[in-house]
Amino acid sequence: MRTREGGRIVVDEGSVIARVRAGEPEAYAELVRAHTGVALRAAVAFGAGADAEDVVQQAFFKAYRSLGAFREGESFRPWLLRIVVNETRNTVRSAARRRTLAGREAELRGSSAEPLIPESADPAVAAEQRERSRELARALDGLSEEQRRVVTCRYLLEMDEAETARVLGWPRGTVKSRLSRALRKLGKLLPAPALTTEGGEEHG
């Protein structure tokens, strides 16, 4: 069963995975449709560039083959995105290239299955949002690789702390400390505040 929440496809992941395990492989297409957009954004944000679609396709294939190891009750998205991140890392290493964050952010907007700025948005607001995105991309390029990863997960991919920890394979305490350091550094690099923390909480 599928519904839409905030414009995104929501599936009963546990039910779909159970159907696949029970011998209905075609049900896996529901998970692919629901998570392709965020998987593409993750691949591009972590540097896959023009190889993003290939990375995502391979990640879905590996996830399918590993469904037997998927723990019941967990969320599929962070589990999948960890595979995407690892596959992206392997692709970038094998290609021996590093794309700039500004280029990644531009492709991120172009590859998204859902527009980051709604078409109905006020043109002035949309223009301001695009400028803030460019400012953020430039500032992110001044962070360390680990700091960029945690900010990308928490803000560009809109993951919570627990999901970020699972995707990056870090303890939650490490996510907190690296995010805190990243936000402090971003505060010095950005011309105006471009990030807000949950509930207005300050990281210090």
In this structure, is residue 108 part of a structural domain?
no
pLDDT band at 192 (very low <50, low <70, confident <90, very high): low
What does the H/E/C string look like for the chain?
CEEEECCEEEECHHHHHHHHHCCCHHHHHHHHHHHHHHHHHHHHHCCCHHHHHHHHHHHHHHHHHCHHHCCCCCCHHHHHHHHHHHHHHHHHHHHCCCCCHHHHHHHHHHHCCCCCCCCCCCHHHHHHHHHHHHHHHHHHCCCCHHHHHHHHHHHHCCCCHHHHHHHHCCCHHHHHHHHHHHHHHHHHHCCCCCCCCHHHCCCC
Domain that holds residue 161: 117-204
Region 1-12: mean pLDDT is 58
Q: What is the pLDDT of residue 147?
A: 92
Residues 20 and 89 in one domain: yes
Residues 92 and 7 in one domain: yes
CATH code for the domain of 81:
1.10.1740.10
Mean pLDDT across the chain = 81
Residues 198 and 158 in one domain: yes
pLDDT above 50: residue 76: yes
Q: What is the pLDDT of residue 101?
A: 54
In this structure, is residue 46 part of a structural domain?
yes
In this structure, is residue 202 part of a structural domain?
yes
In this structure, is residue 109 part of a structural domain?
no
Residues 173 and 95 in one domain: no
For the whole model, what pTM was predicted?
0.71
**pLDDT tens readout for residues 130-159:** 777 677 778 888 899 999 999 999 988 889
pLDDT band at 169 (very low <50, low <70, confident <90, very high): very high
Residues 146 and 203 in one domain: yes
Residues 85 and 126 in one domain: no
Number of domains in the chain: 2
In this structure, is residue 111 part of a structural domain?
no
